[in-house]
Structure 1
C-alpha cells in the first residue's frame, strides 16, 4: 500500500493568507456564520444588491477549508439526492423551476470566474452519467424520462461503444451526457473570498462561533469577540448541528477521494478521454472520476460511512480499508492504469438531511436565517442558495424566495434524525438497504 498524503489535494494548489480573527465587539447590518460557498455567495449577492451594507463573516478556520474546498469539483444541476421525490411532493413545474435555477448557476459561476479573474480551473465540459450494470441502466432511463417530463430536451442514452468513445473504460455499459462543469473548488472558494473582501466584506478567520443569542438584533458569540447584527445568516452546512434548532436535522456522512500523481503522456494515451468530461456512476452513493488541471486522476466513491457520535474528527481521514476499496473500484473502471500511483488520500464530511434536499428559511421573527442540506451536491446549489438568502435577508418576495428550497407553509423543515445509538444503527441499515435496492435490475 502506498504511503498516502492524508491532505486534501486542492489545499496544496494555492497558498492561504489567513485573515485576522475577531478580537472585539462589533455591530453590523449582516453577520454570516461560515466562510464556505453558502456564506460567501450570500455576502457577494448582498453586496451586489446593497453595496452600503456592513457585512461581517465569522469563519472557524479559513474560507475553503471545509466542505466547500474539499469537494470533488463537479458543478452539476443536481438538487440534493432525490429529484423524483421533489417532483412527487411539489409537482413538475416547481421542480423544473428549481432545476433551472441551479442550472443557470453553472454558467454564472463560469462568468464570475472570468469577470473577476478567479483562476478556479473552470472547465465547461459536461459530465457523463454511466451505467455499469442493468440496475444502473434502468436508473439512467428513469432519469431521462423525468428530465423529459420536466421539459428538458431529449437526452440520448449512449450505447456501450458510444460511451467508451467518450470515456474509454471497459466497465461502462451505457452513458448519458449531462450539462455541467469541473472546477478547483478550493481556488474558487479562495477567489470568491478575495472578491467579497474587495467589495468591503470583513472576514474573520480562526473565529469559531460558540453560540447565537436571539433577540431583536441577534448576537454571534465567537471564541474572541461578539457581533451584533440586524440579521444573522447561519451557513455552516454539516456543522449546523452545533445550533440547537438544527441539532438533529443534519447527519455528517464521510466521503473519500484519492488523487494520483500527474499522468505521463504514455499513461494518458492508454485511456480514451478526449473531452475530459467528469464521470459519475448512476447510483446514490456516487463513484466519480475526473482529471485535475495538471492531469492527475481524481477518483472518489466507495463507502460513505457515518461514524458513531457524529464523529467529524480529522483522524477519520486515515482509514486504510476505505482507500483499499476505492482503489479496487478504480481498477474496475481503469485496469489499464494499474501502475498509476496515488499520492493523496483524504476525506471529509457532507451534510445529509431526511428529505435529501437543501433547506433555506428563517427562525422566529426572521432575524436569524439559514441554508444547508446540499447532501454533497452543493457547488452550483450554493450559488443559487446565495441568491435565496440575499432575498430572504432583504425581506424581498422574489422568484428565488418562492423556490421549493424555502421552508414556508408549503414546505416544512426536514424531520429529525433519532438520537444515538438508534442513529448509528439506522444509518448502517439504510446503507445496506440502498445497496440492495440499487443492485436490483
Structure 2
C-alpha cells in the first residue's frame, strides 16, 4: 500500500500534445463547451450529418483530462442507476428502446475505433454482474425479471461454481453475463479528438468557459476570447453546476480506483479469468474490477463521497483512508493476490442527478445540454451525441424521442438543496443505498 502515485493510470498511457487556447473573438454555427465524450461525439455526428457546419469546441484542459478519461473503462448498456424507476415512469417499451440504443453504441464504438484506427484497446469481452451475498443474488434475479418484462432476452443466472469458473473469486456466490466491452477511456477520448479535428472541427484547449451570454445567438466567453454561435451545447457533465440553470440539478461525488503493476504469469495463474470479462458487483455503489491491456488489475469501489461545498479539487485524490478500504475489498475478492503491488491510486468527480439518469434538452432552443450519466457514460455519451445532433438540427427522430430528452413528458431533474442540507442529505443517501442493497 506504499509508494503508489496519485495519477490517473490511463493518462500515463498516451502523451498529450495540447492544442492552442482561444485567443480571438469569432463566430460559428455550433460552439460546444466541453471536450469530453459528450462534446466530442456530438461534434463527430454533426459533421457526419452536415459536413459544412463550422463547429468549435472550448475545453478547460484537454480532451480526456476530466471524467471521460478517468472512467474505469466499462462500456455497458446501463442507463443511470434505476431502470425500474424509468420503466414505472415511461413504460417498458420506451425503457427498452433507450436500453437498445445504448446497447448499439457498445458495438458502434468498437466499429468506430477499427474504422478510424483508434487504438483504444477495445475488448469485446462482455462483463459479469456478480453477487457476493443472498441480497445481491436477489437483486440479480429482480433485474433479470424486469429486463424480461421489458422484452429483452436475458441469460441465466449462474450459481457459485460456474461463476467462479469464469472469474475465480471465492467471494462470488452467483452471476449473470451481460453484453459489454472494455476500453482505455483516455485513448478513446484522444482518438475521437483526432478524428473530429480531421473532420474540420476546431478545438481550443486550456480555454475554460467563464460564462454563456444568452441571446438570439448566444456567446461563449473564455479568458482569451469570445465565440458567438447559432447553437451552444453545454457538455461539461460534472461541471454543469457552473451554469446557473443547472446549479442545483447536479452534484459532484467522487469515485476512486487503484491499478496494480503488471501481473506476472505466476500471479495470473492463480485466478480463473481467461475471458478477461469486466467484473461488477450487483449493488448501488459499485465495486468493479478488470484487466488493463498490459495485464494490470484495476480495482474500484469503496466509498463514493460528496465533499462539502461541491469540492472537486484534485487534492481529493490523496485520500489514504479510501484506498485502504478499496484494498480491503480487493482482498475480499482475491485473497490469493495478496502479493499484488498497486502503483496507481486516483479518483475523480462524477455527476449525479436526483433521478439517476441522463438528461438532454435545450434552453430557449439555442442552448442545448447533455449530462447526468452518474458514472455510466461511455456508451450513453455515444448515444447522447446522436440525441444532441438531432436536437441541434431540429430532426424528429428515434433519438430525439428517447426518454432521455426533457420535454412535456419528462421534466428536468428535481433540484438538490443548498448547503449545509446538501452535505447532510448526500451522506444520508449513501447510507440509505447501503441499507437498501443489504435488503434487496
Do they superpose with TM above 0.5?
A: yes
Q: Distance in 1 between matches of 2:334 and 2:182?
A: 20
Separation in structure 2 between the aligned mates of residue 60 and residue 223 of structure 1, nearest angstrom: 11
Partner of 1:144, secondary structure, is: helix
- In the other structure, the counterpart of 2:253 is 253
Q: Partner of 1:313 in structure 2? A: 313
Match of 1:431 in 2: 430
* SS of structure 2 residue aligned to 1:231: strand
Q: Is 1:59 paired with 2:59? A: yes
- CA drift of 1:38 comes to 0.1
* Corresponding residue for residue 337 of structure 2: 337
Q: Trace 1:50-129 onto structure 2 (pairs within 5 A).
A: 50-129=50-129
Correspondence list, 1:337-376, <5 A: 337-364=337-364, 366-376=365-375
Deviation at residue 147 of structure 1 after TM alignment: 1.1
Deviations 1:140-196 (A, max 9, x none): 001110111111223200110000000000000000000000000000000000000
Matches within 5 A, 1:216-365: 216-364=216-364
- 1:394 and 2:393 correspond: yes
Q: 2: CA distance between counterparts of 1:301 and 1:223?
A: 37
In 2: Cα distance, 1:328 partner to 1:398 partner:
48
Aligned to 2:155: 155
- Measured after TM superposition, the shift of residue 223 of structure 1 is 1.1
Unaligned runs of 5+ in 1: none
1:60-111, Cα deviation, whole Å (9 max, x unpaired): 0000000000000000000011111000000000000000000000000000
Post-superposition Cα deviations, 1:98-126, rounded to whole Å, max 9, x if no partner, equal 00000000000000000000000000010
Deviates more, 1:153-162 or 1:60-69: 153-162
Q: CA deviation at 1:436?
A: 1.1
Where in structure 1 do 4 or more consecutive aligned residues deviate above 3 Å? none
> Deviations 1:190-248 (Å, cap 9, x if unpaired)?
00000000000000000000000000000000111000000000000000000000000
How many pairs align? Answer: 440
**1:208 counterpart residue number:** 208
- Helix, strand or coil for the counterpart of 1:279? strand
Report the secondary structure of 1:409's partner residue.
coil
For the residues of structure 2 that align with 1:416 and 1:150, how far apart are their CA atoms?
29
1:379 aligned partner: 378
Distance in 2 of aligned mates of 1:401 and 1:100: 15
Matches of 2:370 and 2:152 in 1, distance apart? Answer: 28
Q: Which residue of 2 aligns with 1:189?
A: 189
Q: Secondary structure at the match of 2:57?
A: strand
Unaligned runs of 5+ in 2: none
Q: TM-score, normalised by structure 1?
A: 0.99
* 2:174 corresponds to: 174
TM-score normalised according to structure 2 size: 1.00
Following TM superposition, by how much is the alpha carbon of 1:56 offset from its aligned partner in structure 2, in angstroms?
0.1
